[in-house]
Chains A and B, each alone.
Chain A
Amino acid sequence: MYLRRRNPKDDHRAAVSAGLGLLFAVLATVTGAIFARIMWGAYWNWDPRQTSITILLLIYAAYFALRGAVPDSEKRATLAAVYSILAFVTVPFLMFIVPRIYFSLHPDVMTNPDPDNRLDSAHLRVLLASLAGFTGLYVWLYTLGSRIEAIRDRRQQEVL
């Protein structure tokens, strides 16, 4: 969006969204490791999904490192926008391809051809409820983050 309109607000929104993405990815990694300890006996097994979330965390870290390394705001926004597009290309690969190439401890409960190994209705209800809860939380925090950035912008303009 920033590359098309060159509006600094778009860059701020992207940074807020990436920050939330990183927060949720860290939460998924930590809670997933606790789950792995209980279910599989070890916090970390280098399972394909664990490996792909590690790569995802590194991609997020590189995004913020890039933002921190460029002092000029216009240059930073352009570079961050280009990097975001390149980072997004890896999403289908990390989300859908890598976990299905190698053997995984994570069961395939959505598209499994065996109906006995699919998600039962009680688990599906819990999954959908948490999906709704986390999506709502993301939207709310994203709006809040964007409003905070707008206040910061307004105050900076008042100072100048």
Chain B
Amino acid sequence: MSDLAGIMLVTMIIWIGLYAYVYRLDRKVGRLED
């Protein structure tokens, strides 16, 4: 794996993790609203 592909993979994992975390928060807030 080239350096660039490695950096892209790590960046994608961080972004997906970040959005997944916010999605979990969103669900939690949704439950509190009910």
- The interface of chain A, by Cβ under 8 A from chain B, is 133, 137, 140-141, 144, 147-148, 151
Q: Chain B 17-34, CB within 8 Å of chain A: the 1/0 string? A: 011001001100100110
- The interface of chain B, by Cβ under 8 A from chain A, is 15, 18-19, 22, 25-26, 29, 32-33
Contact A144 B19 (CB under 8 A): no
How close is A13's CB to chain B, nearest CB, in angstroms? Answer: 15
List, sorted by A's number, 12 A–B pairs whose CB atoms are closer than 8 Å: A133-B15, A137-B19, A140-B26, A141-B22, A144-B25, A144-B26, A144-B29, A147-B29, A147-B33, A148-B32, A151-B32, A151-B33
Q: SS class of chain B's interface: helix, strand, loop or mixed? A: helix
Give the chain A neighbours of B19 by CB distance below 8 A.
137
Q: Once bound together, how far apart are the Cα atoms of A141 and B22, in whole Å?
A: 7
Contact B29 A148 (CB under 8 A): yes
Q: Once bound together, how far apart are the Cα atoms of A45 and B14, in whole Å?
A: 28
Contact A140 B29 (CB under 8 A): no
Q: Once bound together, how far apart are the Cα atoms of A137 and B18, in whole Å?
A: 9
Contact B22 A151 (CB under 8 A): no
Cβ-closest chain B residue relative to A147: B29
Give the chain B neighbours of A137 by CB distance below 8 A.
18-19, 22
